[in-house]
A and B are shown apart, each in its own frame.
Chain A
């Protein structure tokens, strides 16, 4: 079983549209949506939820104001500014480190396991989907991504799937690092813009740091040939292969509005091009 993770550095380059297209072609697979902050893949895959799990991570402290003597030790020692002047804990800022309960001289701080969101195992028309929803303003998205990655790899083994296909999150921080765990191939989706090229270079450094082989899909070709040339020059310099180039085409947006993958929506056009790209990715996985 192989694992492909689609990432981009910059958001909005078409990662989710491309993942939904790849979901509808290729071998038996398990699909994972690791953009737990702003998951969108389910809008196309329309999952039927089979299992739902709470995502518990860390502790949720609270201060009992009847016990609290307002000594201010907790406010003084909290490094995250998460305790208000009225001795209320602002959970959006709390890291659950436990300093407040440790320093409180009267035991006014109690802690409960923190429910930070949910994750799901679902069935879709393209295979099993593992996805999640981080609670609003919650932290630990990296840990939730790890939960999704582990569950998707487990489901892949259990179902004897040939492939785990992962929609990564934007950026280069905690969630992306977690998305890339055990990846056999990282697929960068880049558009020919100065910003996407900048972010591609950063995210490439990240995959190099973790020694993960990579390839590029250039999306929205035709808006800027100079930037396309720049991306290709960068790929050539770093010996990154280009798995495909897709034109700037409204079919992706129209497919999204119709709730379909572009392979279903436009099988003769972009859909056919996605089939070619899948063959290229397959070659790189076998290499």
Chain B
């Protein structure tokens, strides 16, 4: 079972809930793997403290021009066709701006003389390890690299599959999130009871309705704001999986990278209820 933890807005407690659910399920004796898909700002390792056993550089293919084979100025097909402006004509050769390349391969397909071969650009690293019994995988985007989806894809591909796979997703509603939740059996949306939380939850809900994936909502820091998120959920008939309380002690434990499920009263019971709901929904859909 693949469960993605997402939210429109950053800072709602996605990672907190992902690591606590993973540890809680692990404590029940279920085999768990954890994948941190937030490759721009991965944080789950700060809570799970995995022993990293394997680290790899990840690359995407970019064009490499063989100048001897290139027929040059009379052709320029690759330059004309590239939608991302990653090839230009400079003095008397084709120059590649690999940072702009999306790796689509159109230039290679279009070249009449097979002058375009495969180069590569390093986009970041992936790491794998163990946190207790939990298989842990994360990616780290190279500073200055703009494109995260290919790295997210790589992280998901190398992540070992267990009985339950928890994916911690990046914030937002655009390509990195779409890539992260692709293939998930269930998406948990984490929100907080504030106007910002509600606004961004609504965007995430629209995304999941578009993609047609089943989802439910957890309200984190319940009690800090107002009740408009709950009203929204009941109006839209969206499943509220559970509410985790706003609690200064929780904020303190979190701030040092601690886990909450076994130290904040009531947290474990609520997680247990949430976990039961998720299993029921996934089994119903299946």
Contacts and interface: CB of A to CB of B under 8 A. Distances in A.
Is B one of A's binding partners? Answer: yes
Interface of A: 9-13, 16, 37-38, 40, 43, 58-59, 77, 79-80, 92-93, 95-99, 102-103, 134, 136-139, 141-142, 169-174, 177, 191-195, 198-199, 202, 205-206, 209, 223-224, 226-227, 248, 250, 253, 256-257, 259
Counting chain B CB atoms within 10 Å of each CB, the highest count among A12, A13, A98, A142 belongs to: A12
Contact of B109 (A58, A59, A77, A226): A77
Contact of A173 (B81, B106, B148): B148
11 contacts: A11-B11, A37-B172, A79-B104, A99-B105, A102-B110, A170-B171, A177-B144, A177-B146, A198-B46, A223-B252, A250-B224
A173 B174 CA distance: 12
Interface in B62-109: 81, 83-84, 102-106, 109
A169 B248 CA distance: 27
Given A37-B174, A227-B255, A259-B195, A98 B81 contact: yes
A9 B10 CA distance: 10
Interface string B236-252: 00000000000010011
Nearest to B39: A173
A137 B172 CA distance: 9
Given A37-B173, A137-B174, A139-B174, A9 B41 contact: yes
A205 B143 contact: yes
- Which 10 pairs from chain A and chain B are nearest by CB? A12-B11, A11-B10, A37-B172, A97-B104, A171-B40, A224-B255, A174-B146, A193-B255, A11-B11, A170-B10
A10 B10 contact: yes
Given A40-B9, A139-B175, A256-B195, 10 more contacts: A10-B41, A11-B9, A13-B11, A40-B196, A43-B196, A170-B11, A170-B40, A194-B46, A198-B46, A205-B143
Interface residues of B, number: 56
A101 to B, nearest CB: 10
Contacts of A9: 41
Given A58-B83, A77-B105, A198-B43, A134 B174 contact: yes
B184 interface: no
Contacts of A174: 146-148
Given A92-B211, A227-B255, A173 B195 contact: no
Nearest to B252: A223
B206 interface: yes
A221 to B, nearest CB: 11
A203 to B, nearest CB: 8
B15 A195 contact: yes
Nearest to A59: B83
Given A37-B171, A97-B84, A194-B255, A209 B40 contact: no
Contact of B224 (A177, A209, A253): A253
A250 B41 CA distance: 26
Interface of B: 8-12, 15, 40-41, 43, 46, 81, 83-84, 102-106, 109-110, 141, 143-148, 170-176, 178, 182, 194-196, 199-200, 203, 206-207, 210-211, 224-226, 248, 251-252, 254-257
Nearest to A254: B225
Nearest to A17: B196
A97 B255 CA distance: 43
Given A95-B104, A97-B102, A170 B41 contact: yes
Contacts of B256: 193-194, 224, 226-227
Counting chain A CB atoms within 10 Å of each CB, the highest count among B146, B248, B254 belongs to: B146
Contacts of A172: 40-41, 141, 143
Contacts of B46: 194-195, 198
Counting chain B CB atoms within 10 Å of each CB, the highest count among A12, A173, A205, A250 belongs to: A173
B173 A137 contact: yes
A174 B148 CA distance: 8
A103 B109 contact: yes
A173 B171 CA distance: 12
A206 B251 contact: no
B230 to A, nearest CB: 14
A105 to B, nearest CB: 13
A145 B10 CA distance: 18
A206 B10 contact: no
Contacts of A256: 194-196, 225
